[in-house]
Amino acid sequence: MFEVNWGKPLVIAVTTEGDTKKISTIEHAQYLLSRKWPVDDVARRNALSAIDDAMECMGSVTSARVAFLQAAQSAGFQPAAASFT
């Protein structure tokens, strides 16, 4: 298996106190969404699908990153400064 380039790490604020989580790889994003995500909603499912597509070279990493950020916002997380695509 080869590694998919995720690009610049994404950083999301996971608490109102400012605690953050750094997502450095597409595999880490997939793991968080599939195992540690606090909500199961459409945004989460869309992000998992976009990440799976990118990992199979059937979709873009940019689309996966955008979908992940949308899922994060839907779950109540906020992107930290400079973590946009």
User: What is the value of pTM for the model shown?
Assistant: 0.87
CA distances to 1, 18, 63, 82 from 68, in Å: 22, 19, 8, 15
Q: Is 32 exposed, middle or buried (0-12, 13-18, 19+ CB in 10 A)?
A: buried
pLDDT digit string, tens, across residues 33-44: 999 999 999 999
pLDDT at site 85: 44
pLDDT digit string, tens, across residues 67-78: 999 999 999 998
pLDDT digit string, tens, across residues 13-30: 888 787 899 999 999 999
| Extents of the domains making up the chain | 10-79
In sequence order, the β-bridge partners of residue 35 are none
pLDDT at site 2: 61
